[in-house]
A and B are shown apart, each in its own frame.
Chain A
């Protein structure tokens, strides 16, 4: 069963058309990396998958539910779609523990004990169980992002969206976050990742999608899109990303 199915997706902000007809699917258990220059619409595409952005037209079907249907319970649908943001967006007034338990408790109505167990389990998974009583501003960027991943995982999502999860991090902190994501991919999570990390895309992704100007230019396995791109625009972009300053 395909987890994400996007058909003819358009999104405009005023007169600016950011997405100009996107069609693609993510199969269950697949890891798809979306790459492209800034302003290409890749983050907007990701944000349309959980309807943080309302598509102007087209359909977004996740787990068989058309999220663009006005009658759909978007809050219920979002419970199964985890999202990790570039700026982490942890709740700074709550402890790490509360960050990971609050939605479980308020949205999934899990018992306090259950919430705590799930929180510990997921903080263990991202290697930050010892920070459970810290507040987010006391953590490094890399640690905050790993807590953000744990927070999303605590909802038992069937799909994880990553919006440039390492772009706001100091270079030496990127590795820990990528390691957690790699582990997640190995465990069979369906993942849609907007990223500039070509190494990660090459090694972990099942498919790489190259976007430019609001359309998908190239879509295929990483060994094709990254190592042997068919389109001139893809080649140009990769030249600049892989060999900056040349």
Chain B
């Protein structure tokens, strides 16, 4: 290689030995396509298409899940997700303000909370919520499963959203608070009217991603033990697929998740791009 380039440098008119870089690139690309084609051919040859059609794209079985797939399962998933998001939003905002407080114990409490709940798997949180009645006999969360689901999803997302909000608040230029204070606004009023609205705009993309994560995590509500009326997408798919001994409903619920998560992801990227352009 170095011999070639040396030669090039000394006598560019002389024909080069070996392959030119462009030729090498072309060969490499041909090899990559060939590998892809081979893999596809092998997959197609090995797969049992009839079985796949019957198991995963069985329209008869898929049809039996309608309309409950949307009217019950999707509806419950959305309810669990949104209630968890709202709780996480409010608690997260309070935690962020505590994290930035001039009172040290508030900062500590908030930091500890965030560390704990970002460090635990969502599954474990739901198992703990399920065990709450053991610790407090007779205690019942308002809203039953709905309350428990909101709590589980809320306490965890609050930890993530708190970090988002903190970053957003710190990203608002210092002059904004100074301008508000110079107009005689008390600190809290300035935060509520001037700083937080701008911070929320800044963290809209990560919050949208948080919503996507919550939507997927809401599948863990099945740990709480739900009735047929409280069932969400993942459990619904699983139940249907055992009933008919066919995995098509699982695929159908998967598609239903994507129906929401892909547009939300798109919205998040659009928001991000718009912010990038605005600055």
Interface residues of A (CB under 8 A from B): 50, 52, 75-76, 78-79, 81-83, 85, 87, 89-93, 102-103, 106-108, 137, 148, 151-152, 155
Contact = CB atoms under 8 A, between A and B. Distances in A.
A137 B198 CA distance: 14
A84 B198 CA distance: 21
A7 B179 CA distance: 26
User: How many interface residues does chain B have, given as a range?
Assistant: 10 to 19
B67 interface: no
A152 B178 contact: no
Contacts of A81: 182
18 contacts: A50-B182, A52-B178, A78-B183, A79-B183, A79-B184, A81-B182, A83-B182, A85-B175, A87-B173, A89-B178, A91-B179, A91-B198, A93-B201, A106-B185, A107-B185, A108-B184, A148-B179, A151-B183
B270 interface: no
Contacts of B189: 106-107
A112 B180 CA distance: 19
B193 interface: yes
B182 A91 contact: no
A78 B181 contact: yes
B184 A52 contact: no
A78 B182 contact: yes
B186 interface: yes
Contact of B184 (A87, A93, A103, A137): A103
A93 B179 contact: no
Interface in B156-209: 173, 175-176, 178-186, 189, 193-194, 197-198, 201
B184 A89 contact: no
A103 B183 contact: yes
A157 to B, nearest CB: 10
Nearest to B175: A89
B178 A155 contact: no
Contacts of B185: 75, 103, 106-107
